[in-house]
């Protein structure tokens, strides 16, 4: 029964997100990813992955799984249903002492099963004036485990204004989701070198750095 309900709920969420934000996707010169990949994005709102999900073409959306905190999505029957059945999220236990699975192994298993992943290397929502928080090391370890996979930077613009922290009712504003050209972990590349390069690739897509408007 839950699986039968999940599809219309997913369609409703996508339509609602599009109606509130009039979101449009901006694709890099290389266009749509030809195969499974890792989308990595800036993080300023609980709705970030929903907006990415909403602009992906159906064939890409069907295999795109957000990586999210189990403590948030498993806190109630409703959020558990949405996280597991609607979004098919890869749910990571953020409390190390409570973990029964290694997060990297969870993500690798999803990739090996044919999924793309949506993740946020900052690890938490950015509530500062900086464009990005420092990247955590998980994306490097994931790229190391599957070195041939494409990592696609994605800049989400304006969503933090649609859903400001502490607000329940969204404010209708136009949003964009900009997809950059994919990067890969280079042979012998260090963790710090890769994280710096990935962070620079993501920042370059922001309107302030690309010359676009806010």
**Six-digit token pair at 159?**
């969503």
Tokens 């136009």 sit on residue: 174
Global pTM value? 0.89
Sign for the pseudo-dihedral over CA of 191, 197, 202, 208: positive
Q: Determine the Cα–Cα distance for residues 203 and 196; give it in Å rounded to an integer.
A: 11
The answer to whether 132 and 199 are in contact (CB under 8 A) is: yes
Could you please state the CATH topology (level 3) that the domain comprising 2-207 is classified under.
Glycerol-3-phosphate (1)-acyltransferase (3.40.1130)
**Six-digit token pair at 25?**
């996707």
pLDDT by 10s per residue, the chain, length 214 = 677 789 899 999 999 888 888 889 999 887 888 889 999 999 877 788 899 999 999 999 999 999 999 988 899 999 999 999 999 999 999 888 888 899 999 999 999 999 999 999 998 888 888 889 999 999 999 999 998 999 999 999 876 666 556 555 566 678 899 999 999 999 999 999 999 999 999 999 998 765 554 4
Pairing state of beta strands 150-157 and 176-179?
A: antiparallel
Q: Determine the Cα–Cα distance for residues 93 and 119; give it in Å rounded to an integer.
A: 14
In order, the DSSP letters of 137-155 are: THHHHHHHHTTT-EEEEEE
Tokens 């409390």 sit on residue: 95
In order, the DSSP letters of 87-141 are: S--EEE--SGGG-SS-HHHHHHHHHHTT-EEEE-TT-S---SSSS-PPPPTHHHH
């Amino acid at each position: 029964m839950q699986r039968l309900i999940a599809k219309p709920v997913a369609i409703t969420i996508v339509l609602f997100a599009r109606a509130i934000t009039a979101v449009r996707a901006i694709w890099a010169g290389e266009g749509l990813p030809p195969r499974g990949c890792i989308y990595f994005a800036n993080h300023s709102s609980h709705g970030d992955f929903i907006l990415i999900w909403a602009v992906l073409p159906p064939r890409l959306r069907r295999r795109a799984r957000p990586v999210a905190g189990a403590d948030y999505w498993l806190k109630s029957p409703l959020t558990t249903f949405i996280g597991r059945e609607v979004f098919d999220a890869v749910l990571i236990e953020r409390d190390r002492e409570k973990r029964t699975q290694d997060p990297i192994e969870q993500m690798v298993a999803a990739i090996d099963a044919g999924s793309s992943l949506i993740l946020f290397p900052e690890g938490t929502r950015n509530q500062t004036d900086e464009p990005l928080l420092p990247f955590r090391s998980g994306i490097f370890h994931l790229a190391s485990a599957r070195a041939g996979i494409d990592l696609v930077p994605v800049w989400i613009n304006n969503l933090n204004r649609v859903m400001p922290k502490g607000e329940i009712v969204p404010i209708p504003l136009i949003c964009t989701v900009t997809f950059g050209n994919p990067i890969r972990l280079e042979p012998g590349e260090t963790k710090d070198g890769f994280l710096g390069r990935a962070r620079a690739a993501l920042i370059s897509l922001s309107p302030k750095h690309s010359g676009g408007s806010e």
